[in-house]
Amino acid sequence: MERELWRLLYRLVKQLDVGWGSWRYSTGDIVVVYLWAVVHDRPTAWAACPENWPTDLCPQPLPTQGTLSRRLRKPACVLLLTAVEQRLIGLLNLGQGIVKKIDGKALAVSLVSKDPDAGYGRGAGGKQLGYKLHVIWGDGPMPLAWDLSPMNVSEKRVARWLIEGLAGGGYLLADTEYDANPLYDAAQAEGFQLVAKKRKGKGLGHQRHSPSRLRSIELLGTAFGAALYRQRTAIETSFGTLVTFGGGLASLPAWVRRFHRVRHWVQAKLLIAGTRSLAKNPQLLVA
């Protein structure tokens, strides 16, 4: 299966690679070798060895591990990975539904890790060290929008940035962590009604509240609102699907440290998830 997934990713990358430039290896060459490593849950040093490739797929010549490490930090690689992500979202028509969900997933590292970019924050079961993946998910195999931050960065802060870039309109479902007036206002400005349960022990008091927050409280008191909010749990299924298939986004391996490496790894895993869905519908891939 890894071979077929990589072939589809290779095709997408090569279609979207914008040019050669002055490098010995094109940006597309660097990205496809990196994706070969990620699909197999291996470090870039593994992908730089010809013996780890089938003879009919191995690029000639292969970039060295040092070349991969340097080039992956260039903006061109980030832009190409993002272009592939947007193409997959378009091919899979992921933004069609009116109900979206927002949440975060902790990506912990060892508590004794020396990674200076990781932060302490709330993770599964208590305090953890690492990063957090913030996503807005529709109904498809990959999120419509996402961002990565150290685990100590506020989810509300990242959520506001994600919401402000969200297209369309409808309902945005969230847990109590997102029950904040600025987020309701931001969602309303983009045509979305944020629906989040009110934080426990927090009355309305005498302060000004977003009309959208008041609407959310009213909505959750109705049968329609309760049924709508039950759809929020679908994001747990989406996260579960993302981590349970071979090559999925499980715990961060020991060689994925520092913010730029974690971001590349997460984005590649999201591309693999989208490509798995595309593999079931290959007619969607433009020739």
Q: Does the pLDDT of residue 125 top 90, yes or no?
A: no
CB atoms within 10 A of CB 116: 10
pLDDT tens profile 257-269:
999 999 999 999 9
| C-alpha distance from residue 48 to each of 33, 36, 60, 134 (Å) | 8, 10, 11, 31
| C-alpha distance from residue 199 to each of 17, 70, 113, 161, 208 (Å) | 47, 45, 34, 22, 16
Amino acid letter, 222? T
Question: Would you say 180 and 159 are in contact if contact means Cβ atoms under 8 Å apart?
Answer: no
pTM, two decimals, is 0.89
Q: Which among 173, 97, 175, 104 is positioned nearest to 139, based on CA atoms?
A: 97
| C-alpha distance from residue 165 to each of 121, 175, 273 (Å) | 25, 20, 22
Phi and psi, residue 187, nearest 5°: -65, -40
Distance separating alpha carbons of residues 270 and 39, to the nearest angstrom: 11
- Range of weakest confidence among 27-36, 39-48, 272-281: 272-281
Q: Residues of the chain with pLDDT > 70: what percent?
A: 93
Distance separating alpha carbons of residues 256 and 109, to the nearest angstrom: 9
pLDDT tens profile 44-94:
999 999 999 998 888 888 999 999 999 999 999 999 999 999 999 888 876
* pLDDT bracket for residue 21 (50, 70, 90): low
Cis peptide before 211 (omega within 30 of 0): no
Q: Does the pLDDT of residue 133 top 90, yes or no?
A: yes
Query: Burial, 204: exposed, middle or buried (Cβ in 10 Å; 0-12, 13-18, 19+)?
Result: exposed
- Give me the pLDDT at residue 287, please: 43
Distance separating alpha carbons of residues 8 and 276, to the nearest angstrom: 9
Q: Does the pLDDT of residue 146 top 70, yes or no?
A: yes
DSSP-derived secondary structure letter, 63 = P
CB atoms within 10 A of CB 171: 21
Report the chain's mean pLDDT, rounded to a whole number: 89
pLDDT tens profile 185-226:
999 999 999 999 988 766 666 678 899 999 999 999 999 999
Question: Would you say 29 and 47 are in contact if contact means Cβ atoms under 8 Å apart?
Answer: no
Q: Which among 196, 165, 202 is positioned nearest to 178, based on CA atoms?
A: 196
